[in-house]
Structure 1
């Protein structure tokens, strides 16, 4: 067996704790599902998983290690990631309203998927996760290290979907309660503020604090 069952269980428990911790991905899923419904929320979940697959490829080809070991490259990723998060957060204060009139979602599934994918790919914490967590569960003696990384990444994707998809369904279920303009404004502003907070923390931890 490429990855033995004991290692998979230990990895799943560790990764599961990380998946359950709130972050930009969670806020983005809730925001888009609340704003535009279940299908857009699930598209956001799908975008996050595309980002994780991208991180897997970056780790396999050693690009993540290059970025992490280059102060300039790592800071550029942090700046780009925080700027993208801040841009999405600011949109929450620009009066976007929820759609219940049959005219289609205010946020398309394509935008939701791309936003989630880009935010995940440009999140320095995810890069560190792949460099700090996954290698601890890889056994070079068994060979086929890329395949081991793929298996561990797929476990992470499954855990993510198991947690994030129900969030999208739950958010969609309470959309009717959000039809009041004042509540809509509060939801958009709150999620926007959370995303701006995550953007500021990203800059602080990976640019200002580390300089």
Structure 2
């Protein structure tokens, strides 16, 4: 058993952990190459969390559960860094996500990944890891999280939170390397939407890929 503590820096919604980062923390403790993490409850910040039998617990409350995963969709193709950087001008955020570690525009110490539309159902964002957070699975899972969400139609008007994420990390970027994250919307059924993301390095090598299920927040 392992005890973790999620720093308040790594929030998604204001009082809980960023879904991708939390999932990545759990996934890096798995022996599987492709890992699915289902998020059951918001991850509290700055408290001890226990990893047990592939699950992340706060006391007896199950926060997330990991298992072997598999992909359903093709890897989103790369987008040039210039196109991804220009797309940022079309990014919209919201009060709910303005301070998100992944995509919040009100954060100076976040990833500031701000995806903009580059095609039908496709968004992209430029991202450069600054070296203030160790470059490993949790950081890459966090980077691949939000772009999937922002590919979902009407995400600004009808926000959704991450329900589950399946991902694999193939390589790590160097601090200061110009990267691109691509997000693709696939389907929506009721409150559930399915997306995929891919993270590319400066030479367009595939650093990681992911698929997500998003759950619309009930109005």
When normalised by structure 1's length, the TM-score is 0.23
Which protein has the bigger strand share? 2
Asked which structure has the greater RCO (Cα within 8 Å, sep 6+), the reply is 1
Which protein has the bigger helix share? 1
When normalised by structure 2's length, the TM-score is 0.22
